[in-house]
């Protein structure tokens, strides 16, 4: 019965990708589920990193990553991937990534990503430099290049194009903000998707790629988010 309830819930939350097969199963219409992670048992290959800040700010950014319980008033028996940082650079990018495989080599895929996360920040909230909810932009995509933080002079930058804050890129589009609704002050689950801007991926010789999900912040304060579920589905293009 629990499995049936979860299947129904998944259909409601992830309409664009819910009817796919399990990880690495290619369906007759050439779709493959790259990941369907709910973080209940482990991180499932996801790891976190932070970029877009000065090297001199290393000790004051307050970065934290943990596989931990969802915050109250949500179900605290359920684990999630928490990422947190203090945007003292006015340009902080907090991201998670995962390597995926099983794609056909040197082929073109259309990739949809659905993200569910817990946020406590209102759409209309006010903060230093911008809104804690309305000025923190969620981005997600896929690339054949592993996303990494690299040092450029006195700054840390991402080695792939993700755009900047409200602007995304072809490989890492903006899914929306982390705003959880008007006048929100406690954590609630929100869903975001790139349904309106699917990513086109040309695979490499190995049929491997990297998923990336992250937040580009214009709010100059502390942001703490909990990723609850991430699903990505790729469809082979003829």
CATH assignment at residue 194: 2.60.120
Contacts of 209 (CB under 8 A, 6+ apart): 34, 99, 100, 101, 103, 142, 143, 144, 201, 203
Mean pLDDT of 32-55: 97
- Confidence category of residue 69, pLDDT binned at 50, 70, 90: very high
Residue 14 has pLDDT above 60, yes or no: no
Residue 45 has pLDDT above 50, yes or no: yes
- What SS3 class is residue 26? strand
Q: Which of 127, 125, 123 shows the shortest CA–CA distance to 218?
A: 127
Mean pLDDT of the chain: 90
101 falls within a domain:
yes
157 falls within a domain:
yes
Tokens in use for 34?
A: 């790259």
Domain count, the chain: 1
The pLDDT assigned to 29 comes to 67
9 falls within a domain:
no
CA 133, distance to chain mean position in Å, is: 16
188 falls within a domain:
yes
Q: Whole-model pTM?
A: 0.87
Q: Could you report the per-residue pLDDT of 93-150, keeping only the tens digit for each?
A: 999 999 999 999 999 999 999 999 999 999 999 998 889 999 999 999 999 999 999 9
- Tell me, what DSSP letter sits at residue 44? T
The pLDDT assigned to 39 comes to 98
Mean pLDDT of 84-91: 95
- Strands 149-152 and 188-193, bridge-based pairing: unpaired
Domain that holds residue 193: 20-236
Residue 10 and residue 76 in contact, taking contact as beta carbons nearer than 8 Å:
no
């Amino acid at each position: 019965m629990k499995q049936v309830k979860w299947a129904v819930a998944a259909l409601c939350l992830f309409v664009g990708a819910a009817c796919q097969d399990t990880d690495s199963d290619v369906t007759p219409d050439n779709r493959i589920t790259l990941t369907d992670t709910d973080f209940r048992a482990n991180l499932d290959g996801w790891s976190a990193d932070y970029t877009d800040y000065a090297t001199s700010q290393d000790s004051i950014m307050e970065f934290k990553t943990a596989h931990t319980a969802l915050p109250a008033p949500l179900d605290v028996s359920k684990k999630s991937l928490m990422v947190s940082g203090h945007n003292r650079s006015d340009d902080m990018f907090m991201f998670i990534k995962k390597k995926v495989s099983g794609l056909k080599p040197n082929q073109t895929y259309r990739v949809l990503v659905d993200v569910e996360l817990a946020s406590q920040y209102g759409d209309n909230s006010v903060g230093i430099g911008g809104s804690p909810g309305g000025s923190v932009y969620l981005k997600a995509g896929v690339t054949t290049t592993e996303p990494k933080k690299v040092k450029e002079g006195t700054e840390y930058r991402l080695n792939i194009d993700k755009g900047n804050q409200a602007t995304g890129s072809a490989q890492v589009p903006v899914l929306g903000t982390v705003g959880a609704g008007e006048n929100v002050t406690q954590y609630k689950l929100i869903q975001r998707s790139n349904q309106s801007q699917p990513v086109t991926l040309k695979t490499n010789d190995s049929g491997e790629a990297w998923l990336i999900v992250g937040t580009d912040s214009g709010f100059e304060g502390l942001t703490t988010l909990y990723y609850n579920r991430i699903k990505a589905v790729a469809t082979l293009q003829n």
